[in-house]
Structure 1
Amino acid sequence: MSFKRTVLKAGAAIAALLACTVPASVHPHVFAEARLDVVLGPDHQTVKALRHLWRFDDLFSSTVLMEFDANADLKLDAAELQEVANTIHASLADFNYFQLVTVDGKDVKMKPPAAIMANFENNQLIILFESEPETPIQLAGDIRLGVYDPTFYTAIDFTEDANMAVEGLPSSCVRTVIRPDPDAALAENQQTLTEAFFNDPAGTDMSKIFATKLELKCHA
């Protein structure tokens, strides 16, 4: 079963967030402002966890409100918010919860978050969750962290560099926020982009090359 059909079973609003697109419409339809907090281990030598916060645009948030407001009181109570959270939790599982985590260019396996929290504040849907790597990531080499939607349907943006934060980073590491230029990203990855990417980018998982990333370069 495709991801889109799976999500449609859970609710039309979340389908709008995560639905697969066709080549002619590979443009963001849903927008969210994000914050990423990197949690270091007690010795400040490992990445222990990633804390995510996504604040969605008013239009999508109102769609979620209409779809999940079961008692039609124009607000989402605790049970309705839990239903939103559960739906998103299940829907994102096949996509690593939109996380990009690499060390020296190699993907790092992340544990699924135990739960996702949903809130509705100032007419905007807010999603929060924390995830951990299967094993703590040593602060060594080139670590890159970010968020991207492989379907190209959702634009999750870090509007300020400070929204990609890490507290207590040791002096052996340099923190940089990388915001790729789309044209430059295409040029730099020309050798790895297949015909399938240009015919249907949403099916190739290559949107990660356009994602804003927090880079931690660490040396011994």
Structure 2
Amino acid sequence: MVSGVALLLASAGAANAHPHVFAEAKLDLTVGPDRMVKSLRHLWRFDDLFSSTVLMEFDKNSDLVLDAKELDEVALTIHASLAEYNYFQMVTLNGKDVTMAPPPKFSVSYENDQLVVQFETQPKDTLALAGKVSIGVYDPTFYTAIDFTDDDKIAVAGLPEGCSRAVVRPDPDTAIAQNQKSLTDAFFSDPTGTNLGKIFATRLELTCG
């Protein structure tokens, strides 16, 4: 049986272009002295409503607390449900997709009535900072809204000299206008099959000469 949490986080066909789950995000990118991207560390803090849904579903002993075993079950469920969506990551080098290795595990906690999910990923192959590296976080099904509340929530450690960092927050109207040829009536009625949600995603752009 597919968990209700998995359905909430990654429900292809249920979104109708409106998010139902909300998370405040933090992203830490680490660059090595060799100018290679070493890792992306993600933190998502989910809204109270979704968090309470998780509590009700996984609190097997009904003590209103998620113990270590129950949190492990949450982590395994979310890890499995997001695998086919690349864990909501979008990474490109000069416009070409970069494959990220699956995270070995998720770390989950329940703090102040909110579910907090953390995980780390690395490029499957070496990813050198040369040209433009773009990194975004978004749900292609439009069901979960991942929000960086301010630009400081996207941090870069070890950015080499000669590289610039920018956080891009696309204006929805402009994004639609710029991608009009790609957008169809099907997108607006069922965006989950188009993967065009990335045009609206907040992203980090690193540009190196």
TM-score, normalised to structure 2, is 0.96
Does the Cα contact within 8 Å between 1:33 and 1:56 map onto a contact in 2? yes
Paired amino acid for 1:27: H
Aligned residue for 2:72? Answer: 82
Cα distance in 2 for partners of 1:14, 1:91 equals 5
**SS at 1:73 equivalent:** coil
1:184 aligns with 2:193: no
Structure 1 stretches of 4+ with a deviation exceeding 3 A read: none
Does the Cα contact within 8 Å between 1:44 and 1:168 map onto a contact in 2? no
**Equivalent residue for 1:213, pick from 170, 190, 203:** 203
1:39 aligns with 2:39: no
Shift of 1:40: 1.2
Does the Cα contact within 8 Å between 1:44 and 1:169 map onto a contact in 2? no
Shift of 1:135: 1.4
Where does structure 1 lack aligned partners over 5 or more consecutive residues? 1-8
Shift of 1:154: 0.5
Paired amino acid for 2:208: C
Paired amino acid for 1:204: T
TM-score, normalised to structure 1, is 0.91
Tell me how many residue pairs correspond in the alignment.
Answer: 209
1:105 aligns with 2:73: no
**SS at 1:101 equivalent:** strand
Paired amino acid for 1:140: A
Paired amino acid for 1:15: L
Deviates more, 1:104-113 or 1:193-202: 193-202
1:193 aligns with 2:150: no
Considering only aligned residues, what root-mean-square deviation do their CA atoms show, in Å? 1.3
**Equivalent residue for 2:19, pick from 16, 28, 48:** 28
Aligned residue for 1:10? Answer: 2
Paired amino acid for 1:77: D
Cα distance in 2 for partners of 1:68, 1:85 equals 11
1:140 aligns with 2:140: no
Aligned residue for 2:82? Answer: 92
